[in-house]
């Protein structure tokens, strides 16, 4: 066995076990149940020699480095890696799952960036795609995940001035609950109003167009505030 035999779903469960405050032997036994598809009862009733062999096999797997590469496909799905080419709605999804933890949400991240080979992406199939990626080899998923995160970071660098609120314009609301929970919805609403389209249509815009709209709106708000201050000084 090697990393290619460990699915993303199993890897996520193993990661959760290793983060718990448990004795090392308990962690190893719980992980063995996951790796070898055994219940705790089944493992307890295995012959000691077989359990030892399982432990050695598992140790050799975990000691080996990931041979992770980003492939154009994972199973029946094509993976997109260019964040600048996705829609505004996809970007918001991607941002949400990356912020919540890339590895724990890797299946959702890939589901956001995946399409059936040569077929149109269907938003309602997101959960179906995510469940599929849980069954895929973790090496392939992590390779794709790393590349997506790199593209995401590079894209965000192009719009650094967009991230974070301007305290001079809206006050100190960076940690405001509304901003945390509904910040992207508010931004999408602004884009929809600016483009004179529905909110759903705004989510369907290319992310670059939506971000350029938001840059303009942010600059416009600052300009209008400066004009208001100038007018007050004159009066």
The residue segments making up the domain with residue 196 are 162-234
Same domain, 134 and 78: yes
Same domain, 148 and 183: no
Instruction: Calculate Rg over the CA atoms of the chain.
Output: 23
Model confidence over 59-110: pLDDT tens digits?
Answer: 999 999 888 888 899 999 999 999 999 999 999 999 999 999 999 999 999 9
Same domain, 166 and 152: no
Same domain, 145 and 175: no
Question: Does the pLDDT at position 174 exceed 60?
Answer: no
Residue spans of beta strands (DSSP E) within the chain: 73-74, 77-79, 114-116
CA torsion 25-27-33-39 (nearest 10°) is 80
Give domain status of residue 86, yes or no. Answer: yes
Structural domain count, the chain: 3
Give domain status of residue 197, yes or no. Answer: yes
Q: Which residue has the higher pLDDT, 217 or 181?
A: 217
Same domain, 150 and 205: no
pLDDT of residue 175: 60
Give domain status of residue 193, yes or no. Answer: yes
DSSP letters of 119-176?
S---GGGHHHHHHHHHTSBHHHHHHHHHHHHHHHHHHHHHTGGGSS--HHHH-S-TT-
CA dist 218 → 199, 225, 227 (Å) = 19, 11, 14
Say which range, 110-114, 162-166, 210-214, has the weakest mean pLDDT: 162-166
- Kindly give, in sequence order, each residue whose CB lies less than 8 Å from that of residue 44, ignoring residues fewer than 6 positions away: none
Give domain status of residue 84, yes or no. Answer: yes
Model confidence over 99-146: pLDDT tens digits?
Answer: 999 999 999 999 999 998 767 788 889 999 999 999 999 999 999 999
Residue labelled with tokens 């709106």: 217
Same domain, 84 and 139: yes
Same domain, 133 and 197: no
Tokens of 16: 């959760």
Confidence of residue 233 (pLDDT cuts 50, 70, 90): low
Give the rounded percent of residues in the chain with a pLDDT score beyond 70: 92
Same domain, 44 and 83: no
Point out the domain boundary residue: 41, 63, 85. 63
Q: Which residue has the higher pLDDT, 14 or 222?
A: 14
Helix, strand or coil for residue 55? helix
Give domain status of residue 68, yes or no. Answer: no
Give domain status of residue 111, yes or no. Answer: yes
Same domain, 32 and 91: no
Backbone angles phi, psi at 39, to 5 degrees: -85, 165
Helix, strand or coil for residue 83? helix
Same domain, 154 and 177: no
Instruction: Give CA–CA dist 56/54, Å, rounded.
Output: 5
Question: Does the pLDDT at position 177 exceed 60?
Answer: yes
Give domain status of residue 91, yes or no. Answer: yes
Model confidence over 29-66: pLDDT tens digits?
Answer: 999 999 999 999 999 999 999 999 999 999 999 999 88
Same domain, 174 and 223: yes
Give domain status of residue 135, yes or no. Answer: yes
pLDDT of residue 121: 80
Same domain, 52 and 123: no
């Amino acid at each position: 066995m090697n990393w290619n035999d460990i699915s993303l779903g199993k890897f996520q469960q193993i990661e959760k076990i290793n983060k718990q405050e448990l004795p090392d032997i308990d962690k190893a036994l719980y992980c063995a149940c996951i790796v070898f598809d055994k219940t705790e009862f089944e493992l307890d009733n295995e012959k000691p020699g077989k359990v030892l062999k399982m432990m050695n096999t598992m140790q050799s797997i975990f000691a080996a480095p990931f041979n992770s590469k980003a492939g154009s496909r994972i199973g029946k799905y094509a993976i997109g890696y260019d964040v600048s080419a996705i829609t505004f709605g996809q970007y918001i999804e991607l941002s949400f799952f990356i912020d919540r933890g890339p590895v724990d949400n890797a299946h959702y991240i890939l589901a956001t960036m995946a399409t059936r080979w040569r077929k149109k992406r269907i938003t309602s199939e997101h959960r179906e795609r995510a469940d599929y990626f849980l069954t895929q080899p973790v090496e392939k998923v992590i390779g794709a995940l790393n590349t997506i995160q790199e593209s995401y970071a590079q894209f965000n660098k192009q719009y650094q001035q967009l991230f974070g609120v301007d305290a001079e314009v809206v006050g100190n609301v960076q940690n405001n609950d509304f901003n945390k929970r509904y910040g992207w919805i508010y931004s999408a609403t602004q884009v929809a109003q600016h483009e004179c389209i529905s909110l759903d249509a705004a989510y369907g815009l290319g992310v670059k167009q939506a971000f350029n709209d938001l840059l303009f709106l942010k600059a416009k708000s600052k300009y209008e505030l400066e004009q208001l201050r100038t007018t007050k000084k004159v009066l």
